[in-house]
Chain A
Amino acid sequence: MSPDKFLDFLFAGYGAFWTILFGYLGMIFSRQRRLLREVEELRRELSQRKG
């Protein structure tokens, strides 16, 4: 096997790294966005009730 043939494996390896990382980042940030929206909505509702 020539070293160049190993390039597929190299790209597969880094591909796996980035897929997992971005998959995980996507998960946390979508959760964070949802939570921030909920916090805002609830705060608005609470202040409306008081006022």
Chain B
Amino acid sequence: MRIEPLHTAANVAAVVAWGAILGALYMVFQYVPMERTMGNVQRIFYFHVPSAMVSFLAFFICFLASVAYLITRRRGLDIAAAAAAEIGVVFCSVVLITGPIWAKPIWGIWWTWDARLTTTLVLWLIYVAYLMLRAYLPEGARRANLAAVVGILGFLDVPIVYMSIRWWRTQHPAPVIMGGKGSGLAPDMALTFRVCMVAILCLFVALLLRRIVVELLQDEVDHLYREADVAPPERG
């Protein structure tokens, strides 16, 4: 795969993403009125929920790339899976940190072990383990195979985790949570939400492309070290 076109694409995506994010910030802090019951803190919602959706999308891409990798054995798909998982973990971290910050003033608690929260946490743990596995394996086709297997297994686990926690929760009644998601969002709020969704999506695409470019650069460097017959320096 050539780096140059991807490099350009990553730059273009970055510009678009910054524009979209600025627009989204304007919408969130200027355009949209304050929500009546939750107050200003509700504005977290506009970045929190799209981050959650994008992290889930990232893990889904990791799953698809892993399956495709095992069929075709192309290094490009291995890179895509790794990059998607990493960025998925970044957005998932955002979700797990902004979530409690939003929840505390509204629900009075930082955290509750309900199905959605618990599944998000388990998802984060699975993909952190995935990244750790990659870090501890020597690079090459072997690592790609093993990581792909975990990428597939981890994703298949998600619906089962969600189901099991839901059953579990019906046994232990959780604190009553008021309408978490944007049920019956006012039109200007819905518009703001949609703008934020697009902005976070652009950010995701930009990060994904950048991460792929860096991984390709790493391959190039490894290749050049072999060409030059020099041992690469030890990296922490």
Contact = CB atoms under 8 A, between A and B. Distances in A.
Contact of B41 (A13, A28, A35): A13
A39 B217 contact: yes
Contacts of B211: 28
Interface string A1-30: 111111101101110110011001100100
Interface in B33-51: 34, 38-41, 43-44, 47-48, 51
A7 B101 contact: no
B198 interface: no
B118 interface: no
A20 B220 contact: no
B224 interface: yes
B44 A10 contact: yes
B217 A17 contact: no
B94 A3 contact: no
Nearest to A45: B228
A20 B203 CA distance: 13
A36 B3 CA distance: 12
B226 to A, nearest CB: 10
Contact of B39 (A6, A17, A28): A6
Max chain A C-beta neighbours (<10 A), residue from B39, B93, B207: B39
Given A16-B94, A20-B97, A42-B225, A9 B218 contact: no
B214 interface: yes
Contact of A16 (B39, B41, B43, B98): B98
A46 to B, nearest CB: 6
B220 A14 contact: no
A13 B44 contact: yes
B43 A24 contact: no
Contact of B44 (A9, A39, A43): A9
Given A4-B40, A43-B224, A45-B228, A13 B90 contact: no
Contacts of A46: 224, 227-228
A31 to B, nearest CB: 6
A2 B105 CA distance: 10
Contacts of A12: 101
Interface in B103-127: 104-105
B77 to A, nearest CB: 20
B227 A9 contact: no
B221 A35 contact: yes
11 contacts: A2-B39, A6-B40, A9-B101, A10-B43, A13-B98, A17-B47, A17-B98, A20-B97, A38-B224, A42-B224, A42-B227
